[in-house]
Structure 1
């Protein structure tokens, strides 16, 4: 009844393929609708992160698993966190999800990462951040509470909060290695920004 209450004609989940993974989306739920740019964005994320089969990938603000599902066959394990229970259901139901990929409901706006036992026990080596326009201020301010993390890939739809959060990370022991933008919807103000950060080594502060 949820979709009917919102006035949608179609209420069944839609399936699309991006970067080799099949992802599900419900009418009314957020998903990237520019399929070409979305695929290019995920491929760039793969090329930048350069994960391997020993990596444990933590996907924060994971939505329906759009970005992390294509990594399923390339990493040891994936843990995706998202506040929307409907989005988590879709991620878990994806035909491309492997047994090594778990998606769970979590409030990342008001909860510190170190207060989530599933995150601490997961010991992630890489983090994908893909927050809403408000950014990921609490998460970025607590990433150093997860000492196993070596790389962060930040995807943003808002330049102001993107700049704010990058500034916090750069001043808090992280190197900014790469940054770029993707014109998600040409002739509009909507762009996606992406940055790759690596943890500074002890004794190497430049």
Structure 2
């Protein structure tokens, strides 16, 4: 297919590999996986998608003031805050493309202004659209800078006239100056406020803030491989860490004795419980807790929790934590199935586990995000048959960055945590200032200038408090 996307030429950054033939993209991802992970186990060929177009079931567009003061919406140009006007995206579901266009027309009819970040004025920030691939249900989430939304009924009416397939409309209020799209306040304007979708034969409810894989076709490929690696016989206790709305755990529940899912997002946990009930799955339960904290507590000899036979680890892009993986090691499951969306942090985490006597047996990449740099990976690990104190691991320091384990957490992990937990963006400089106050090594890359007259901005109190809380979360301070 020739490249016909206008925004690709304008460097939107959403699909940087769009100009490469799809087989070449798979070859490129195979080489990446081999370079980063090949030393742990043989890397199977990447499982590509038969039709790698219009696969995304979720999209986010940002509102802005366009030419002649007219409301527009689109996506940011790569590395900027310049909004490129929305066009039909080749990666997004075609119905989602049509829905975003209808949202813009309805918002213009209501004469709603875009939120101006630099001035702190205006109303509309973003629109998030989700579509159930099997159900056809469409959820529109209108993100506003204030609770008051005058003319909301007129908006819903106008939107439904232009896009009658929309089944739910939700307002999400996010008044904070943050790069996070969604706030915590949600108000349903039309419909049930959520959608359903079928995955691996099970029905899942998806709310505005729930994590759900964006490529349902390849998700089934990914989950089938993960469950195959788990080798369940119906007798196993399974822990699903970072479980989200329970997708992997519930898909595996029919082949296990019991499933325990752990997730810190309360909305996702509520969805997971509802999903279990909707699918009449009685052998799965879900716990709202930070995965690291819960796994550490569960690994204690007197925890009273059942011994896991299989552990699924499906962490976010920054990977798991040393404490969480050490807890898994202490639990002594028969198998660990690690599902990763970032081969770099996966390589780091596999090194951590292999140094503790675990061995990667199988590595299967899955192309969940065609035309992008990203690739998903499933790894099967089991306990090695040798003394963990005598394990020898060979790896290239050029390929690995072990700073995350030398210091408890990397600067990027701290930034991600502070942004997600507090909605604040913090710099490496601010983190180093707080670490220095706590007597922690800041690393050679973050030392202050030796010039006496150097002007260095100081970390604001609210950001210092957030960074301190992050350091405690990563067990870097008590």
> Which has the larger share of helix?
2
Deviation at 1:39, TM superposition (A): 0.6
Question: Residue 46 in 1 paired to residue 232 in 2?
Answer: no
Alignment partner of 2:288 out of 105, 112, 117? 105
Deviation at 1:97, TM superposition (A): 5.1
What is the alpha-carbon distance in structure 2 between the residues aligned to residue 177 and residue 29 of structure 1?
32
For each residue in 1:78-133, what CA deviation from the matched residue of structure 2 results, as whole angstroms up to 9, or x when unmatched?
00000101100000001225111001111124x26231379761211100000011
| CA distance 1:171–1:164, shift in 2 (3 Å) | same
Is 2:359–2:384's contact at 8 Å kept on the other side of the alignment? yes
What corresponds to 1:115 in structure 2? 297
Equivalences for residues 78-157 of structure 1 within 5 A: 78-94=259-275, 95-96=278-279, 98-109=281-292, 111=293, 113-116=295-298, 121-137=305-321, 138-147=323-332, 149-157=333-341
What is the alpha-carbon distance in structure 2 between the residues aligned to residue 29 and residue 73 of structure 1?
23
* Partner SS, residue 68 of structure 1: helix
Deviation at 1:13, TM superposition (A): 2.1
TM-score (normalised: structure 2): 0.40
> Which has the larger share of strand?
1
* Partner SS, residue 142 of structure 1: helix
TM-score (normalised: structure 1): 0.89
* Partner SS, residue 23 of structure 1: strand
Question: Residue 168 in 1 paired to residue 335 in 2?
Answer: no
Alignment partner of 1:4 out of 167, 171, 179? 171
Structure 1 unaligned residues grouped into runs of 5+: none
Deviation at 1:38, TM superposition (A): 0.4
| CA distance 1:203–1:172, shift in 2 (3 Å) | closer
What is the alpha-carbon distance in structure 2 between the residues aligned to residue 120 and residue 200 of structure 1?
27
Deviation at 1:180, TM superposition (A): 1.7
* Partner SS, residue 141 of structure 1: helix
| CA distance 1:112–1:27, shift in 2 (3 Å) | closer
Deviation at 1:27, TM superposition (A): 2.1
Deviation at 1:202, TM superposition (A): 5.3
The structure with the largest alpha-carbon Rg is 2
Structure 2 unaligned residues grouped into runs of 5+: 1-146, 148-169, 174-185, 393-478
| CA distance 1:175–1:12, shift in 2 (3 Å) | same
The range that moved more, 173-182 or 81-90, is 173-182
What is the alpha-carbon distance in structure 2 between the residues aligned to residue 9 and residue 191 of structure 1?
36
